Structure 1
Amino acid sequence: MTTTGIRPSPATERPAHRDGNVLRWLGAYSASAVGDNVYYLALSWAVIQSGSPAQAGLVMAVSAVPRALLMLGGGVVADRFGPRRVVIGSDAVRCVAVFSVAGLLLLTSPGVWALAALGFVFGAVDALFMPAVGALPARITARHQLARVQGMRGLVIRLANVVGAPLGGLGVALGGPAAAFGVAGLLFAASLPLLMSVRIAKLPAERGGQRGERRGEHRGEHRGEHRGEHRGEQGEGAAEGTEAGRTAWHELADGLRYIRGHRVLAPLMVVVALADLGFVGPLNIGLTLLADERGWGASGVGLVLAGFGAGAGGSALLLTVRGRLPRAGLLLCVTCATGAVGIAAVAYLPSLAAAAGAALLVGLLVGLTGALASALAQTESDPRYVGRVTSVAGLVSLGVAPLTYPLTGWAVGAWGTAPVFTAGAATCALAGVYGLGSRALRAAELPTAAPRG
């Protein structure tokens, strides 16, 4: 029997949460995610000490520009060179960058320019890291385990948010921003040996979810076997190397054409983009302004965010335990549309406790939407395109949406918080309705385990 990669046979296959290979990746991702949170706190504190509030806002926004400009190219890099290599390189660069700034802060006062340069470097590295880290699960576990892996990843993100900020604050309290940057660097460094120990599956010729399987039925087995002979023997990067003669622009255009022509991925990308545009601004900027308007204070913001985090953690735990939810495409669209109601409710409910309760509902529904979207994007994609698909999915939330923060603030100043939250909720609802209008997306399912024996 011919094997493709490291995946064991169905009879001996372990679930993702018991797979040492997946757990090593999860440990590396945990260290990196906590390091991110420590880094952002250290950067904001260092900028506030070195410059004006306006300069602080500018430095914090600098990283969004290269992320927006380079994100799609990051997907090409992940597909060409392999996601593990890109993630290792990204964490190594981040480690060196934060240690360098920590050293500068210990020896001198580098000024805002050095901190802005650090933010720019991080934004550029994130443009490579995000598509690669999104593409990596498909190379370390079986397709029917990807939803569970997304749940585990969601739990790590919530844990990093809870642990990272206090850890960064402790570093600042004990040794200033330099110490906090040092803590972040140590966490990035800790991820490297774990990542290097992760085993990567070889790419089969065409394993593009249900659509790829249907193609295999109609186009014949000889073509797939012939491709597999040439692509599957050299491990990570083997299949990527077959496109080495093509330019990055050609590969990017090829990936975009692939998404546009895919019956499930094309509407899924639209749903993801609309949902992110409707959700990110109200949560990150509108909530702070709403708390100021209502007199809730910083503790009120924290309580509402805690409600959202608890809900998102609950949805991640559900996927981790269940591993698969039926009618995933339909469920994604319904949770997106119904979660929009909670987004609007946050701005209209009269009490802080009620707003926190609405945020809990939003976190549960929107968190489930995001996890299902990631799992479907990976299972429906041909493995050769997963990095590019991930980069398109993350472009709006990680690159474009942060650039709308000034517009969100201006809109709140002009019309108030309630209309802005309502507009965001309407955009999220439109995303769900659009998805429901796609028969292919409504019918999309996460794969089940292969028959045993």
Structure 2
Amino acid sequence: MTALRTSRGFNAWVAATVGSELGSGILAFALTWTASGIGPQVASAVLTLTVAPSVALGLLGGAVADRFGPRQVMIAGTLGMILISAGIGVSVVLWTPSAILLLVAAALIGTVAAFQRPAVGVFPRLFVSDADLGTAMARVGMASQFARTIAPPAGGLLVGMIALSGVAFVDVVGGVVMLVTLLLIRPPRAHAPAREAMTLRGIVTGVMAARHTSGVPGLLACVAIVAGAVIPAVLLGIPLAARERGWSASDAGLIEAGWIAGGLACGAWFAWRGTAVRAWRPMALGPLIVAVGLGMLAIATDWVVALIGTTLIGVGVVVFTAHVFPTYLLLAPSAMVSRFQALLILVQQAPQLIVSPLIGLFVAMIGAGPVLAVSGLVATLATLIVVTDRTLRTFTTNR
């Protein structure tokens, strides 16, 4: 283990990330909660519209960040979110929240996220050496995960006290703190603008470069497999399994919290101790831990066993992602790093849009247990890819 060598600006940004992510998470909960009061179809549409723009516009978002730099894109995106949140707050004060207002708000938030997320993902690379990138990203991930963990209960409390309009203005405060932080800090590493990035040819070139960069196709396939196998299985499989097995709503909530707790604990370890120099070993181990956790969840008849299973899932996911994400950025050409990051986000989210409805269909046909067990087996394919990829097996970070 070595101490993370970074600047005050990085630490200030991580701290501001907690407030910004917390405000965004509270607002997301409030929007969904308000939409659910109108009808389940509206609530479903709100959730879809916050994800779909990242799939549709993500590659363009990465190209913009490569052209202008991640800090500039984050400043513009944060300013955009401040205006959107303020607009939501004012609109709700003047008019009763309607389905159209909620859907437009969700689409605008999703669109800003499509441009901002690739920039946020590569921003740590401007602060630290390649050897420290994994530790730095673990700290950012832990801060974001902490904020996302406490956002739903905080949102439930605040939406009852100050309504959607008040929650929107809370998000404005978090956005202002982030905007001021971004304007004040200066990363020690400069961004070299890729002037061709925003052209159609530049976007296609980025995708083709990812395809031909050794080790990158394997990592993208692994991320798609793990994201497609785990996230829908946890978010949909747990409540469906709970109803099937007679567990209460509070049991189901505790079981789902297990994967968050496991991920937080594991993320804290990597943020403190650092990530492995030979990243392929934890990258291969992570999906196996996930498979064990999903297997326990598949056969559990007691909620305590299910909780242990979801905790293992959270641990396995973070063991995997804490090494995959920095390795992926280090393999990416410096002039295309944001386009590569956008592609990574795309392969994380696109499988969920396909797998989620399939899980609902197959659970209705054969039950939750077999579906969860198959999801675990699918996750192990990522391990197979890692151990058979020569580039990944020989990749190291020098310390």
TM-score (norm 2): 0.94
**Distance (Å, rounded) in 2 between the aligned partners of 1:305 and 1:435:** 28
Work out whether 1:398 is the aligned partner of 2:385.
Answer: no
Partner of 2:14: 26
Report 1:199-348 matches (<5 A): 199-202=186-189, 235-236=190-191, 239-240=192-193, 242-244=194-196, 248-348=199-299
The alpha-carbon deviation at position 46 of structure 1 amounts to: 1.7
Q: Could you tell me which residue of structure 2 aligns to residue 195 of structure 1?
A: 182
> Helix, strand or coil for the counterpart of 2:249?
helix
**Following the alignment from structure 1 to structure 2, what is the Cα–Cα distance between the partners of residues 400 and 317?**
28
Q: What is the CA–CA distance in structure 2 between the aligned matches of 1:260 and 1:336, rounded to whole Å?
A: 23
Residue from 72, 85, 88 that aligns with 2:72 = 85
Q: Secondary structure at the match of 1:141?
A: coil
Contact kept, 8 Å, 1:24 with 1:195, in 2: the verdict is no
Give the letter for the 1:23 counterpart.
N
Residues 258-315 of structure 1 deviation map (CA, whole Å, 9 limit, x = unaligned): 2112112221111111111111110111112112222222212221122212211122
CA distance in 1, matches of 2:140, 2:209: 27
Question: Which secondary structure does the structure 1 equivalent of 2:236 belong to?
Answer: helix
CA contact (8 A) 1:330 1:443 kept: no
Per-residue deviation, residues 226-265 of structure 1 (Å, max 9, x unmatched): xxxxxxxxx54xx21x524x65211112112221121122
SS at match of 1:63: helix
* Segment drifting more, 79-88 vs 151-160: 151-160
One-letter code of the match for 1:57? S
What is the DSSP-based 3-state SS (H/G/I as helix, E as strand, rest coil) of the residue aligned with 1:73?
Answer: helix
In the alignment, which residue of structure 1 is the partner of 2:113? 126
The 5-angstrom pairing of residues 31-180 of structure 1 reads 31-49=19-37, 51-180=38-167
Structure 1 residues 266 and 111 mapped into 2: Cα distance closer, same or farther (>3 Å)? same
Corresponding residue for 2:4? 15
Residue aligned with 2:260, SS: helix
In the alignment, the residues of structure 2 paired with residue 333 and residue 429 of structure 1 have an alpha-carbon distance, to the nearest angstrom, of 9
Amino acid in structure 2 at the alignment position of 1:243: R
Name stretches of at least 5 consecutive residues in structure 2 with no aligned partner.
none
Kindly report structure 1 stretches of 4+ aligned residues shifted beyond 6 Å: none
Q: 2:202 and 2:103 mapped to 1: Cα distance?
A: 32
Query: 2:133 touches 2:326 (CA, 8 Å); kept in 1?
Result: yes
SS in structure 2 of the partner of residue 296 of structure 1? coil
For 2:370 and 2:172, the matched residues in 1 are separated by: 42
Residue-pair matches, total: 398
CA distance in 2 between counterparts of 1:418 and 1:140 reads: 45
SS at match of 1:200: coil
Coordinate RMSD, CA, aligned: 1.9
Instruction: Measure, in 1, the Cα distance between the counterparts of 2:106 and 2:118.
Output: 19
Query: Cα offset for 1:128?
Result: 0.9
Deviation at 1:339, TM superposition (A): 2.0
Deviation of 1:110 after TM superposition, in Å, equals 4.1
User: Is the CA contact (8 Å cut-off) linking 1:32 and 1:91 kept in structure 2?
Assistant: no
Q: Closer, same or farther in 2 for the Cα pair 1:79/1:201, shift >3 Å? A: farther
| Distance in 1 separating the partners of 2:3 and 2:366 | 54
Paired residue type of 2:249: A
Please say if residues 151 and 315 of structure 1, whose CA atoms lie closer than 8 Å, have aligned partners that are also in contact: no
- Residue identity in the other structure for 1:322: R
Identity %: 25
The correspondence for 2:374, drawn from 410, 415, 423, is 423
d(CA) in 2 for partners of 1:292, 1:361: 22
Q: Deviations over 1:387-437 (max 9, x none)?
A: 111111111323441454223222212221112212221221111112211
Alignment of 1:344-363 (within 5 A): 344-363=295-314
Question: Residue 41 of structure 1 aligns to which amino acid in structure 2?
Answer: F
Structure whose CA Rg is larger: 1
Per the normalisation by structure 1, the TM-score is: 0.83
By how many angstroms is 1:364 displaced? 1.1
The 2-side partners of 1:373 and 1:325 are apart by 11
Q: Deviations over 1:3-45 (max 9, x none)?
A: xxxxxxxxxx9724x6312101212222221122101111012
- The whole-number CA distance in structure 2 between the counterparts of 1:150 and 1:137 is 7
Q: Which moved more, 1:38-47 or 1:182-191?
A: 182-191
Deviations 1:128-183 (A, max 9, x none): 11111001111122111111112212221231123212322222121211111221
> Deviations for 1:43-86, whole angstroms, at most 9, x for unmatched residues?
0122123x212222122212222121111111111111101111
- Partners of 2:370 and 2:61 lie apart in 1 by 36
CA contact (8 A) 1:150 1:316 kept: no
CA contact 1:158–1:313 (8 Å) conserved in 2: yes
SS at match of 1:184: helix
